[in-house]
Chains A and B, each alone.
Chain A
Amino acid sequence: MSTSILIIDANLADLERSKSALARAGYGAEIAQSGAEGLARASRLRPRVVMIDSFLPDMEWQQVATDLRQGPSGAKTTVIMLAEQTRMGSLLVGQPSPADDVLIKPFSTAEVSTKLRDLLGQSDTPGRGAVVSTGNAELDSKMGGGIPLGSLTLIEGGSGAGKSVLSQQLLWGSLQDGFKAAVFTSENTVRSLIRQMQSLNLDVLDFLLLNRLRVYPMEIARLGAQAPDAIMEAIEAERHRDMIFVDSLTSAITQCSDHEVLGLFEECKRLCSSGTTVLAVLHSHGVTKELVIRLRSLCDAHLQLRTEEMGQKLVRALEVTKVRGAEKSTGNLITFEVEPGWGMRLIPVSRMKG
């Protein structure tokens, strides 16, 4: 179902910007440039969401919101007040508001997408069938738009190739987009994962406190041969979350046969068919070449990481070997460096060769 949105804003440039951000999030929007025009359009369109700028030339925004509420579909209409960043300082806060929420202009696609998902619930949002963003537009475009929702992704690579950084970037992007995630980690404690991500400018502490993120450190050595079953059981218990990250599976499967490893991935695949997105990180040396080929065909996306010498420099390279159902065609090779306080910084191959 497509959600109808009406934006009432006197500033045409802002209107266009807001409309574009909504379009990128998968929503169509109608526009009106005054309160009176907005009310007239609303009575005809009966939009599910009305965004009203707080500075209208002809009416107080509160009056527009109140009149809308009294209209034919008013009770069902979600009202979002828009405040322009430069004029925000003169806003009055702390009095009863006729709005359901507020957005500060200009707003990003991720911001509006999260807000509408929270306000409307999953059924009215175009999220399903869409992609999980990394939160890095450049990286997303190289990955064909992002990881498709409800997919099984294998992130594979050698030591220090950036597997964890990439999975953390995807974790951050998915949380920013309003998804709920669980992380099973053999590499970190809860505290060290949060600190590591903060050092990459990917602060997820708020999400942890708000229970949008759960982190489970895995004690693989203690679990021994029971590790794969125990991990799968723990993942099943968190299947209500949108995203499951396992970083990494390597030590858990070292004692397993290829058949058992494939069985574990098949279980994950079953989980994906019910809408959960699963990302598993694996060290290349933990699996045979033959097994990698079989896992690659089982997974919806395969991201291979390695370190490469380019010119005088050693850089990390991400090869997007497969993204099933990608929005756009994927780039073959992405070179990047990991910079403290910045995170993943993409480097053009041409500059590296130069």
Chain B
Amino acid sequence: MSRILVVDDDEVLVKTLVAIFRRAGHTVLAALDGESGLACARAGAPDLIILDVMMPEMDGLEVCLRLRRDPQTRPIPVLMFTALDEPELRARAGLAARGASDDPPLEEEILADDYITKPVIVDDLVRRVNTLLWIASVC
């Protein structure tokens, strides 16, 4: 079974995802803001991160960028869990990357491995998580 980190500022949603994935036999770590999410990603060595985009202070895109720029967390698959659609997500990702560093960002630095829009049926979310975990295990 895997270690999954959930980062979202919606506490009830985090509790729900923790309950779902824990019941499925995974170890689940949780963080309610971007800064704690980064700390958990570094200390907890998760196999996958489910990351909310719209969070106060440090949003999910900036968290994702920082994860990608840290050699320790770079290989961890990230699933963006967002109410935004893909074009909006890409536009915001570009802005986040430009704001976080003077260096021009590489596309693979900004983008998550996959994204899924809120709200979602639990089965769809679990399937997407399992696919990402499987890809990570064979790559």
Residues of chain A having any CB pair with chain B under 8 Å: 83, 85, 88-95, 97, 99-104, 203, 205-206, 209
Contacts and interface: CB of A to CB of B under 8 A. Distances in A.
Contacts of A91: 121-122
A206 B15 contact: no
A206 B122 contact: no
Given A102-B19, A103-B19, A104-B20, A209 B12 contact: no
A92 B19 contact: no
A99 B15 CA distance: 11
Given A94-B81, A209-B40, A89 B29 contact: no
A94 B15 contact: no
A21 to B, nearest CB: 15
Interface in B106-133: 118-123, 125-126
A85 B23 contact: yes
Contact of A102 (B15, B28, B29, B119): B15
B91 interface: no
12 contacts: A83-B19, A88-B122, A90-B123, A92-B122, A93-B125, A102-B19, A104-B23, A205-B44, A206-B44, A209-B29, A209-B43, A209-B44
A92 B119 contact: yes
Consensus secondary structure, chain A interface: mixed
Given A99-B12, A102-B12, A104-B19, A93 B119 contact: yes
B15 A101 contact: yes
A264 to B, nearest CB: 34
B101 interface: no
Given A97-B12, A99-B12, A205-B27, 16 more contacts: A89-B121, A89-B123, A90-B122, A90-B123, A92-B119, A92-B120, A92-B121, A93-B13, A93-B119, A93-B121, A94-B119, A94-B120, A100-B12, A206-B44, A209-B43, A209-B44
Contacts of A100: 12
Given A209-B29, A209-B40, A93 B23 contact: no
Interface in B7-30: 12-13, 15-17, 19-20, 23, 27-29
Q: Which 3 A-B pairs have the closest CB atoms?
A: A94-B118, A89-B123, A94-B119
Contact of B126 (A89, A95, A101): A89
B12 A101 contact: yes
Contacts of B15: 101-102
Contacts of B40: 209
Nearest to A94: B118
A206 B21 CA distance: 14
Contacts of B20: 88, 93, 104
B14 to A, nearest CB: 10
Contacts of B126: 89
